Amino acid sequence: MQTTIRSAVSFDGVGLHSGEPARLTIRPASANHGIWFKRTDIALGNTLIPARFDAVETSPLCTLIRNEAGVSVSTIEHVMAALAGCGVHNALVEIDGPECPILDGSSRPFVMGIMQRGVRRLREAVTAIEILKPVMVETAAGWARLSPAEGSFMHFHIDFVDAAIGVQDKRLNMANGTFVRELCDSRTFCRASDVDAMHKAGKALGGTYENAVVVDGDKVLSPGGLRHKDEAVRHKMLDALGDISLAGAPIIGLYEGHKAGHALTNALLRAVFADPAAFRMVTCNATMAARLPGAGVEMDEVITTAVA
């Protein structure tokens, strides 16, 4: 069955890139509504933005969506990952600014808020996107691919020169509560030199050592160190789930990313939907729905922030 959140939940924080304060509120929505964002700080015109791959606009370091009226919201990937990972198919996300709050740099605060309110089942069946043949996009930097699979799977590989990150590889079956158990508390990460460069360029103004893992060579500069030895690749998978959820429905298939980022994942979705032979829409029976991300997840499954 399709789902929505039982009651509204709000989050206050600052945007990672703008440094501006914002309040984000997730509200329940009816079946077949999907996920939409609404700018509450804009009084006139169309303030609704669909959380869909074809509304994504190229933006460095984050995922930004924009409607036909030019109204946008950026850094949506963490809240989108939380909604997908908690199995929420329908919601209205209201925000009073142009950028989602970064909170602790992960999806866990959003997950906790959603799970505290609870997820409500709706009568309508879930429609999913079944991948029928491999589709791949690549650049000189990396590649991303979707392939047929009997369920929802993810495999990600990263390779950084910084010894604190290095080479990391992880594969997960994303069924049920895998996201909330394995990925949701993993934070965004960057190099100390990148922080200085971004600040000088007027970017990452809301970034601190408290809402990102900052590394310098083999050192982790953020207080408390890593939450997981492979926190970096887990966060890349978190981002990928948020970006994949912009397909507009859960995907039945294997997503693979090799040094992939937001732009590559969006390009992959565009390539899939450009090829009618690459996918089909399916109405999920109970067995199929139980294999989707977030199906039946419970609050006690949400990961703690202990090192693992």
294-304 tens-digit pLDDT = 988 888 888 77
Distance CA 203, CA 207 (A): 9
Q: What integer is the mean pLDDT of 2-7?
A: 97
CATH code for the domain defined by 3-301:
3.30.1700.10
**Which of 35-46 are b and which e, b meaning 16 or more Cβ less than 10 Å from the residue's Cβ?**
bbbbbeeeeeee
The model's confidence at residue 147, banded by pLDDT at 50, 70 and 90, is very high
**What's the chain look like in SS3?**
CCEEECCCEEEEEEECCCCCEEEEEEEECCCCCCEEEEECCCCCCCCEEECCHHHEECCCCCCEEECCCCCEEECCHHHHHHHHHCCCCEEEEEECCCECECCCCCCHHHHHHHHHHCEEECCCCCEEEEECCCEEEECCCCEEEEECCCCEEEEEEEECCCCCCCEEEEEEECCECHHHHHHCCCCCEEEHHHHHHHHHCCCCCCCCCCCCEEEECCEECCCCCCCCCCHHHHHHHHHHHHHHHHHCCCEEEEEEEECCCHHHHHHHHHHHHCCHHHEEEEECCHHHHCCCECCCCCHHHCCCCCCC
pLDDT at position 204 is 65
Q: Report the range of poorest mean pLDDT among 7-21, 25-39, 81-95, 207-221.
A: 207-221
Distance CA 197, CA 210 (A): 18
Distance CA 214, CA 183 (A): 18
CA 127 to chain CA centroid, nearest Å: 20
- Residue range 260-291, pLDDT digits in tens: 999 999 999 999 999 999 999 999 999 999 99
How many CA atoms, within 13 angstroms, populate the side-chain half-sphere of residue 187? 27
Distance CA 105, CA 227 (A): 12
Phi, psi of 232 (to 5 degrees): -65, -50
The model's confidence at residue 257, banded by pLDDT at 50, 70 and 90, is very high
- Going from the C-alpha of 33 to that of each of 89, 115, 203, 298, the distances in angstroms are 8, 20, 34, 24
Q: Which of 89, 157, 235, 262 is catalytic?
A: 262
Q: What region, left, alpha or beta, does residue 196 occupy, with left being phi > 0 and alpha being psi -120 to 50 degrees?
A: alpha
Catalytic residue check, 78: no
> What pTM did the predictor assign?
0.95
pLDDT above 80 (res 195)? no
pLDDT above 70 (res 220)? yes
The model's confidence at residue 36, banded by pLDDT at 50, 70 and 90, is very high
Phi, psi of 170 (to 5 degrees): -150, 140
Q: Tokens at residue 91, please?
A: 């919601």
pLDDT above 70 (res 229)? yes
The model's confidence at residue 308, banded by pLDDT at 50, 70 and 90, is very low
pLDDT at position 203 is 66
Distance CA 49, CA 72 (A): 7
